[in-house]
Amino acid sequence: MKNYNCIIVDDETLAQELIEAHLAKIPNVNIVARCHTAMEAMSILNNTPIDIMFLDIEMPDITGIEFLKFLDKPPLTILTTAYSEYAIESYELNVIDYLLKPIRFDRFFKAITKAFSILKDTIDRSIIENKIVEEDYIFVKSDYKAVKISFNELIYAESMQKYVKFHLKNKTVMSLMSLTSLDEILPTSNFFRCQKSFIVNLTKIESIDGNLLIMVNGAKVPVSKTLKSKLVGLIDKNNLL
């Protein structure tokens, strides 16, 4: 679980200290600052990524609710106040929770657990979206043409002096490039440079015979003795080898 940055915004020092004491019991939380005014908090928000903000409502100059309305992209916010009459207005601002002072730890824990859950869902959704948009092909120059190389079709790539030969499911493609530059492009989740002159698609390995990788097209690709154990570790997901 990642660490989450928090700020405490409250004009009362004792209230700040109580929230800080509650947070001390919870792992994965980093208190970036304790602010007595909204203006202090604004300075922090403008310069530091904040995940969770504990925000008092009754403060001098500008209230917590007014401050929250002013922010374009506020962090997840948990309001803290001694007054219950603000509850309806606060929920219209999509706050995570509304805690009445003095704040009991059980209520505090429920609120921050909810915030953690939202943050985790946001991170997981971002990872999924990134995987969806991640490209699964490249275009290379070959015979004065741009040729598409689909990663799923690529069985292995072979260095041939100044060229790379792509061994695909139904054809081969030659392109003027180095194997090292290709190695930097291919996703490490599926491709492995098993020897100075070869990069293999791990999902296209049929078997391993000594220091030879038998690929799905019947080709035999050498694997370096020093890299074989690493390769086996990558393909042996269940520790059966």
pLDDT digits (tens, 9 = 90+) for 130-174: 444 456 899 999 988 999 999 999 999 999 989 999 999 999 999
pLDDT tens digits for 44-61?
999 999 999 999 998 888
Report the share of the chain in percent with pLDDT over 70. 89
**Which residues are CB-contacts of 132 (< 8 A; sequence separation ≥ 6)?**
none
pLDDT tens for residues 95-110?
888 899 999 999 999 9
The amino acid occupying position 30 is N
Angle at 175 between CA 172 and CA 177, to 5 degrees: 135
Measured distance CA(203)–CA(238) in Å, rounded: 15
Span(s) in the chain for CATH 2.40.50.1020: 137-235
Least confident piece of the model among 75-84, 91-100, 105-114: 91-100
Which homologous superfamily does the CATH classification assign to the domain defined by 4-133?
Response regulator (3.40.50.2300)
Mean pLDDT of 185-203: 93
Residue 217 or 61, more confident = 217
Strand partners, 54: 8, 78
> What are residue 35's phi and psi, to 5 degrees?
-115, 140
Q: What does pTM read for this prediction?
A: 0.53
Sign (positive/negative) of CA torsion 64, 112, 35, 69?
negative
* pLDDT at residue 89 is higher than 80: no
What are the residue ranges of CATH 3.40.50.2300 in the chain? 4-133
| Residue 128 in this model has a pLDDT that exceeds 60 | no
Annotate the chain with three-state secondary structure.
CCCEEEEEECCCHHHHHHHHHHHCCCCCEEEEEEECCHHHHHHHHHHCCCCEEEEECCCCCCCHHHHHHHCCCCCEEEEEECCHHHHHHHHCCCCCEEEECCCCHHHHHHHHHHHHHHHHHHHHHHHHHHHHHCCCEEEEEECCEEEEEECCCEEEEEEECCEEEEEECCCEEEEECCHHHHHHHCCCCCEEEEECCEEEEHHHEEEEECCEEEECCCCEEECCHHHHHHHHHHHCCCCCC
Please, what is the average pLDDT of the chain? 88
> In terms of CATH, what superfamily is 137-235?
LytTr DNA-binding domain (2.40.50.1020)
Q: What is the mean pLDDT of residues 73-81?
A: 91
